[in-house]
Amino acid sequence: MDGDEFVQILTPEGQRVAHPLYESSLGRDEVFGLYRDMVIVRRLCNEATSLQRQGQLALWAPLQGQEAAQIGAGRALEANDFTFPSYREHGVAWCRGVTPKEMLRIFRAVTNGGWDPQKYRHSVPTVVLGDQVLHAVGYAMGVQRDGAHEAVMTFFGDGASSQGDVLESFVWAASFNAPVVFILQNNQWAISEPASLQARIPLYHRAQGFGFPGIQVDGNDVLAMYEVTRRALDLARDGGGPTLIEAYTYRMGAHTTSDDPTRYRVDAEVEIWKHRDPVERVKALLTREYRMKRAALDEVTAQAEAIALQLREDVLAMDAPDPLSMFDDVYAAPHPLIERGRREMIELGVSEGH
Amino acid sequence: MSTTTMTMARALNEGLRRAMEANKKVLLMGEDIGKLGGVFRITDGLQKDFGEDRVIDAPLAESAIVGTAVGLAIRGYRTVVEIQFDGFVYPAFDQIVSQVAKLHKRTDGVYTMGLVIRLPFQGGIGAIEHHSESPEAYFAHTAGLRVVSCATPNDAYWMIQQAIEHDDPIIFCEPKSRYWEKGEVDLDQPPHGLFDAVVRREGHDVTMIAYGSMVKTALRAAEAAEAEGVSIEVIDARSLAPFDLDVMIESVTKTGRLVIVQEAPPTASLGSELAAELSERCFYSLRAPALRVSAYHVPYPPSRIEEHFRPSVDRVLDAVDRVMEWES
């Protein structure tokens, strides 16, 4: 299959390289925009980690290292496309317009969702591995039946690629030619298990066996991620069916704040990936090729800082919901057991606002 | 009033047809439901009339059948999923319990999980393993789901339409051993609400609650008991989650005796739930403990001996004798 070689158009050093099938369509302002996005989500992520360490979040799943994979894919989307994330796609959520405050609600343990998925056309986090991938394919089947010119994108990792639901999604997407783009972020580690345990072949090769294109991309190259994803989305919208994009990247941090990666991987490996940092290479491009001034880059850092500060304020102000809210929206229609539970809790003296 | 006689299988087919005519967003998805019309022919002729986009022959993976129906629901479609047999639903268990049941709540009501999962359930058809199970309690236990079961062609015709119209996800249990039994279907007027329990036969000595295939067994037992001077009130639960307790409480308060008949094994079953609820609510009316007539706590046996596993009229009558003799 053409184009299944490792797609990279910006090296870790920030040099452009030619690729036979893909070249960057983005100008200076757009590249700067991607840089801004990556800096902001990295800063948000660090703030969230600090908040968790300070006891303000129940958990956090850091995205550090995967900024390019998520921002490149996220910015390739059109407004009316729909996305189905796993639980680490803070960068994609950012691109879809979800506010940082909304992203952290689930980690503050004040909700099991966080935002209005129809408003942002970005579904809520899915914690059970791979479940959302089937939802994306089903949604895409709906898009087909509506005759709409829309695409659907879904995210999962190297670990989830072993889930039956993901493989069943591949079967469905192929059989029904569904307008869906699968973004497999291979960040090399499923908690403590290396990607080599999930697959004995490069993961993107799996697509071929299901009958649709699979492409491996330098997941730390935001320009490559953007171009490959955009083309796959166009293909899907135009009736060309699904594509699997393996974003070859690295989880620089822990799986979550409950994890201790020093138990299962060596520092030397992390060091190698530090040199492939997704943000630094764009910074190098901006300063060398586009001659961007230090002040412009500093302005981005300051903006990220302000957003992080606001996030901290918002999170600290986020109170536990009213206990009675557990009875809301369990069912769409009235249900006697819900009414009974609510009544019992009210009789126990649990009142609004506590 | 226009009534006609048909089998439960036919009634379901007609009900599905009517729901598809009424709402273009209604889709059917399942294995072999197209040209074949499903292994029980419930969807016979529907693909021919509504097309392959609306009556979807699915690849063979139950989790994907349910999981893609979730995505279709998010897109605004109402998918009626056919799980070929009860024992094949377990690969979809995660999607049903973790997603179908919880997405409405998780999204603060933004996603409507209006989908129906049709489950031919219970035994009595001489099948091999995995084709005769009663998994309803697994689903009734899960908040966010509703579980119903039809026992007559008229209920089958109307309940499937009501389930499709309903905004909550519904596990629709069809007693496959009754698929081919005929009954009157009123094509104009639904007999009851989807979640109503119904008194099928009035009586004053014993309340007998059953659902699905066991409604007929209960009615036979009631007939036999009448010959011996015992008057049994038979209630068809119809809705298994939630239960329509008011109808049941009224009956038990009147009779003072309760027998629950189910094809499922007894442990942590719907019969257990009913026994607990009604014992609590009708404590001072009860003259005997609530009894369950169930299958045994064993895997569904080879079908040559299944009639020793499923509650028979004789076993039901034994329970009636026990509650009647309790005081003396």
Predicted local distance difference test score (pLDDT) of residue A350: 85
Radius of gyration for chain B, computed over Cα atoms and rounded to the nearest angstrom: 19
Which tens digits make up the pLDDT trace of A315-331?
Answer: 999 999 999 999 999 99
CB contact under 8 A, A332 and B102: no
Supply the residues of B annotated as catalytic: 131
pLDDT confidence tier of residue A348, bands split at 50, 70 and 90: very high
In this structure, the answer to whether residues B170 and B233 fall within a common structural domain is: no
Give counts: helices (H), strands (E), chain B: 11, 14
Cα separation, B312 vs A215, in Å, equals 61
Residue B153 lies in a domain: yes
- Give CATH 3.40.50.970 domain extents, chain A: 28-320
What domain count does chain B have?
2
In this structure, the answer to whether residues B43 and B119 fall within a common structural domain is: yes
Over residues B52-73, mean pLDDT: 98
Q: What is the number of CB-based contacts under 8 A between chain A and chain B?
A: 135
Can you name the residues that pair with A186 across neighbouring β-strands?
A248
Over residues A157-183, mean pLDDT: 98
Of A88, A90, A230, A251, the catalytic one is A251
Which tens digits make up the pLDDT trace of A83-142?
Answer: 999 999 999 999 999 999 999 999 999 999 999 999 999 999 999 999 999 999 999 999
Residue B158 lies in a domain: yes
Predicted local distance difference test score (pLDDT) of residue A1: 39
Q: Which of B186, B215, B243 is the last residue of a domain?
A: B186
CATH topology of domain A28-320: Rossmann fold (3.40.50)
Predicted local distance difference test score (pLDDT) of residue A353: 47
Residues 63-102, chain A: which have Cβ within 8 Å of B?
A: 84
In this structure, the answer to whether residues B178 and B211 fall within a common structural domain is: no
Cα separation, A127 vs A331, in Å, equals 21
Which tens digits make up the pLDDT trace of B247-301?
Answer: 999 999 999 999 999 999 999 999 999 999 999 999 999 999 999 999 999 999 9
CATH code of residue B210: 3.40.50.920
CB contact under 8 A, A145 and B77: yes
Taking contacts as CB-CB distances below 8 angstroms, the residues of chain B near A333 are 166-168
In this structure, the answer to whether residues B91 and B235 fall within a common structural domain is: no
pLDDT confidence tier of residue A2, bands split at 50, 70 and 90: very low
pLDDT confidence tier of residue A3, bands split at 50, 70 and 90: very low
- Which pair of tokens denotes residue B252? 């038990």
Predicted local distance difference test score (pLDDT) of residue B232: 98
A22 carries an active-site annotation: no
Q: Single out the residue of A123, A119, A98, A112 nearest to residue A44, CA to CA.
A: A98
CATH code of residue B65: 3.40.50.970
Q: Residue B244 — φ and ψ, nearest 5°? A: -90, 85
CB contact under 8 A, B109 and A116: no
Burial class of residue B40, CB neighbours in 10 A (0-12, 13-18, 19+): buried
B189-193 LR contacts (CB < 8 Å, sep 24+): B189/B1, B190/B158, B190/B161, B190/B162, B191/B154, B191/B155, B191/B158, B192/B155, B192/B158, B192/B238, B193/B162
Q: Which of B132, B161, B186 is the last residue of a domain?
A: B186
The distance of Cα A13 from the centroid of its chain, to the nearest Å, equals 25
Q: Are A233 and A195 in contact (CB under 8 A)?
A: no
Which tens digits make up the pLDDT trace of A187-223?
Answer: 999 999 999 999 999 999 999 999 999 999 999 999 9
In this structure, the answer to whether residues B180 and B50 fall within a common structural domain is: yes
Mean pLDDT (chain B, rounded): 97
Residue B192 lies in a domain: no
In this structure, the answer to whether residues B202 and B175 fall within a common structural domain is: no
Over residues B115-133, mean pLDDT: 97
pTM for this one?
0.97
Burial class of residue B38, CB neighbours in 10 A (0-12, 13-18, 19+): buried
In this structure, the answer to whether residues B241 and B291 fall within a common structural domain is: yes
CB contact under 8 A, A116 and B167: no
Residue B191 lies in a domain: no
In this structure, the answer to whether residues B181 and B259 fall within a common structural domain is: no
In this structure, the answer to whether residues B176 and B213 fall within a common structural domain is: no
Which tens digits make up the pLDDT trace of B93-112?
Answer: 999 999 999 999 999 999 99
Taking contacts as CB-CB distances below 8 angstroms, the residues of chain B near A118 are 110-111
Residue B287 lies in a domain: yes
Of A53, A264, A288, A335, the catalytic one is A264
Which tens digits make up the pLDDT trace of B145-196?
Answer: 999 999 999 999 999 999 999 999 999 999 999 999 999 999 999 999 999 9
Q: Which of B166, B186, B206 is the last residue of a domain?
A: B186
Write out the residue range of the structural domain in which residue B292 sits.
198-325
Predicted local distance difference test score (pLDDT) of residue B72: 98
